[in-house]
Amino acid sequence: MAPASSLPAELAERWGILSAEVIADTRSSLVHRVLRRDGTYAITKRLKPSGLHELPGIDLLDWQQGQGMVRLLDRTETACLLEDAGKLTLKEHRLVHGEDVANDVIVALLGRMQSASLLSPPTTLVPLRQHFRALFDRVERADRPDLSDVLTVCATIAENLLSSQADIRPLHGDLHHENIVSGGSRGWLAIDPQGVVGDPAYDVANIFGNPEGAFPEIIDRRRILRLASLFAPVIGCSKEKVLRYAIAHSGLSICWSLEDGDRISRQGNAMERLAFAKAAIPLLSERVLSS
């Protein structure tokens, strides 16, 4: 680890930091693993100007109070001190132990995350309809005729879902295998929430398109149906609803990737999500979801 001077002096002093190591430097944030004067490790996250949309996620961590998610230890303006949840990602764990073991972790974590809090949810959480804005805007612009058919279907599904949301509650909003980590004393925890509020069926939507590098499985109809069957009873809804949210999210993810400059390349996220949508949409017209 580098000296604490790699962090702003006021933060190093406030949080008693002796040394720090950069673990992520993205367009939206700078993240360090730090050693504190009391001998414990923690994580600091400092949002960049392009990362201020992550502030609702920090508010969610404050509200969640460690239930299935990493604990927020302190915050000041656009910087926060977080519990160090460990270095092992569920993506890495899945490579060693397999899909079924990874799915068991997700199901157990969902149960912990959904534990009711006695506190009123933050008013800063992003409504799910607003969260889907990039998809609706792209379809309205109609500037990608090569994607028009798929994105229109995804947007139509999203509109129907958003118009009939049930059991609206705070959501992580970006749950996937690299945002679930372990290695600390509290086991598997979710990190980096978006801070969304809406139908809980959305919180498993991103699992269908993950983990990165598992493309053949992501488009496998057997896995798609298995995930829908696994998550439906946990959420308390139909398998079809879970799958519809997964499809809607795939369209949203394509649009986000386009905004980030993805040209539907062979190895890009947009290509994978497009392939997933094409594999999943036909399942809605089959009877496989009612069995």
Q: What is the pLDDT of residue 116?
A: 66
List pLDDT tens digits, range 36-63: 999 999 999 999 999 999 999 999 999 9
Cβ contacts of residue 226 below 8 Å, gap of 6+? none
The domain boundary, picked from 39, 60, 83, lies at 83
Do residues 72 and 216 both lie within one domain? no
Query: Which CATH number fits the domain that encloses residue 193?
Result: 3.90.1200.10
Sign of the torsion angle spanned by Cα atoms 43, 46, 50, 51: positive
Query: What is the DSSP code string of 123-164?
Result: TTSEEHHHHTHHHHHHHHHT--TTTHHHHHHHHHHHHHHHTT
**Are 79 and 97 in the same domain?**
no
DSSP assignment of 95-134, as one string?
A: HHH-HHHHHHHHHHHHHHHTSPPSSPPPTTSEEHHHHTHH
Provide the b/e sequence for 210-232 (b: ≥16 CB within 10 Å). Answer: bbeebeeebbeeebbbebbebbb
Domain match, 119 and 208 both: yes
Shared domain for 199 and 239, answered yes or no, is: yes
* In a shared domain, residues 32 and 45: yes
User: Does residue 134 sit in the same domain as residue 203?
Assistant: yes
37 with 108, same domain: the answer is: no
Task: Give me the pLDDT at residue 290, please.
Answer: 67
Q: Name the active-site residue from 174, 192, 199, 203.
A: 174
Q: Which of 113-127, 221-235, 246-260 has the lowest mean pLDDT?
A: 113-127
> Is 104 among the residues known to form the active site?
no
Which of the pair, 222 or 291, is modelled with greater confidence?
222
Final residue in a domain of this structure, among 61, 83, 105: 83
Give CA angle at 281 (166, 225), nearest 5°: 75
Same domain for 67 and 94, yes or no, is no
Q: How many domains does the chain have?
A: 2
Peptide bond connecting 211 to the previous residue in cis, omega within 30 degrees of 0: yes
pLDDT single digits (tens) 164-184: 998 999 999 999 999 999 998
Q: Which domain holds residue 185?
A: 88-290
Same domain, yes or no, for 246 and 269?
Answer: yes
**104 and 53 within one domain:** no
29 and 100 assigned to the same domain: no
Domain boundary among 47, 63, 83: 83
What confidence tier does 192 reach under pLDDT thresholds 50, 70, 90? very high
Mean pLDDT in residue range 244-248:
98
Q: What is the pLDDT of residue 148?
A: 93
pLDDT digits (tens, 9 = 90+) for 103-162: 999 999 999 998 767 789 999 999 999 999 999 999 999 888 889 999 999 999 999 999
**What is the dihedral sign for C-alpha 125, 254, 239, 179?**
negative
CATH number at residue 52: 3.30.200.20
CB 91 within 8 A of CB 211: yes
Residue 194 and residue 131 share a domain: yes
